[in-house]
Amino acid sequence: MKSHPNHSINNLHKISVAPMMDCTDKHFRMIIRKISSKALLYTEMIVVQSLIYTDKKEKFLNFNKEEHPLSIQFGGDNPQMLKEAAKMAQDWGYDEINFNVGCPSPRVCSGNFGASLMKEPSKVAKCIESLKNNCSLPVTIKHRIGVDEEDSFDKLNSFVREVANAGADRFTVHARKAILKGLNPKQNRTIPQLRYDVVQKLKETNPQLLIEINGGFTNIAQCIKALNELDGVMVGRSAYKYPLRWSNIDQEIYGENTTSKCASGIILSLIPYIENHLEKGGKTWDICKHLINLVEGIPNAKIWRNYITSRSIKQELSIDYLIKVTSELQKMGY
Ligand SMILES: Cc1cc2nc3c(=O)[nH]c(=O)nc-3n(C[C@H](O)[C@H](O)[C@H](O)COP(=O)(O)O)c2cc1C
């Protein structure tokens, strides 16, 4: 099996925020970047076919320079298209490419990519090879511990080894199998049992591979515990719904000597970004739909959220008003 010449990018990213469609857009990533300067961020999944055939590539590819380190996630199964996509990712300045073999959406699987590809390791290996051969970025893969009846440890292990031989630089393993018939994507994130033991065994069996665990992490202490045995932890829903729970990542995971962040501080620091977005014709809701999660857990959060949401949706939220209500939060110490 190949060893990895360059672990530097991977070693930095002990914690990452999972790719999530309709959640981890560039605005949300800016919010998370205010919380952690280190965590690896991912784009939402980009279907390579859509990327290749659109003449609005910037809609898929643009990001803010503050978002680094940033991994772009591709879904697809055509090595030729992945070749083009790899070149674009490099030209656009992404730090890493991630290949999605974990999405159980029927729409995605009917195109024969996402989780169903786990049943075709050789095809996945060709896809990884194509990405690797056409850029100099690290190429990583996100997958499940199994799919449908193909859920033995041996199957998982040989899948990972074949893909490692094709050059994959890191494996993000969602510690659940995917059930393609009978469960929708949401159910596939809750009903199949979480099996951290399987991911740990995968690392024990392949100590030379970089293996990151994903699924069900809700606080920093759990991540620190997992990092004793694994190379990284990817956090999805909890980072989206409760971003402030993760505000000490840089101190507690990376040992940085930075001050704690609070909701009002983060929102106020984003004001120039929001103004810039509005100047370019964007809407406040594009950003505020993510910002409202920052007040989760704060007393009277509901009132603050309602103020922001109702005005923002009606496009009546002014920057002055946002500053005013956020300063109220600040006065209360949040
Ligand atoms: C709304 C939503 C959208 C998602 N979209 C993607 C996606 O685009 N690509 C992907 O690999 N996983 C996607 N996922 C799965 C997450 O990346 C992650 O694997 C899953 O939520 C389990 O992690 P968690 O328990 O920390 O949330 C999505 C999850 C959610 C909740």
b/e map 211-248, b = 16+ CB within 10 Å: bbbbbbbeebeebeebbeebbbbbbbbbbbebbbbbbb
Write the residue with the smallest CA distance to atom 6 of ligand 1: 20
Say if ligand 1 is within 6 A of residue 18 CB: yes
Q: What distance in angstroms lies between residue 20's CA and the mean position of ligand 1's atoms?
A: 5
Q: Is 145 in the pocket of ligand 1 (CB under 6 A)?
A: no
Q: State yes or no: pLDDT of 140 exceeds 80.
A: yes
Nearest residue to 212 via CA among 35, 19, 5: 19
CA distance 105 to 110: 9
Task: Note whether 66 and 36 are within 8 A (CB).
Answer: no
pTM, two decimal places: 0.95
Q: Contact 117/146 with Cβ under 8 angstroms?
A: no
Helix axes 284-291, 301-313, angle to 10 degrees: 160
All structural domains of the chain, each given as residue ranges with its CATH number in brackets, are: 8-252 (3.20.20.70), 263-331 (1.20.120)
Q: Tell me the mean pLDDT in the region 246-274.
A: 94
State how far the Cα of 324 lies from the Cα of 319, in Å rounded to an integer: 9
Q: Kindly report the number of other CB atoms within 10 A of residue 120's CB atom.
A: 16
Best probe residue, ligand 1, of 189, 234, 293 (max atoms within 8 Å of C-beta): 189
Q: Which of 69-83, 236-250, 318-332 has the lowest mean pLDDT?
A: 318-332
Give distance in angstroms: CA of 108 to centre of ligand 1. Answer: 14
Cβ atoms of residues 124 and 163 within 8 Å: yes
- Of 104-108, 124-128, 228-232, where does mean pLDDT reach its minimum? 104-108
Q: Is the pLDDT of residue 1 over 90?
A: no
Residue 122, classified by CB atoms within 10 Å of its CB into exposed (0-12), middle (13-18) or buried (19+), is exposed
Could you tell which of 20, 23, 60 is best to mutate to test the pocket of ligand 1, judged by most ligand atoms within 8 Å of the CB?
Answer: 20
Does residue 281 register a pLDDT over 70? yes
Residue 111 amino acid letter: G
Contact 121, 162 (CB under 8 A): yes
Within 10 Å of residue 80's Cβ, how many Cβ atoms? 11
Q: What's the rounded Cα separation, in Å, for the pair 170 and 4?
A: 9
**What's the chain's average pLDDT?**
92
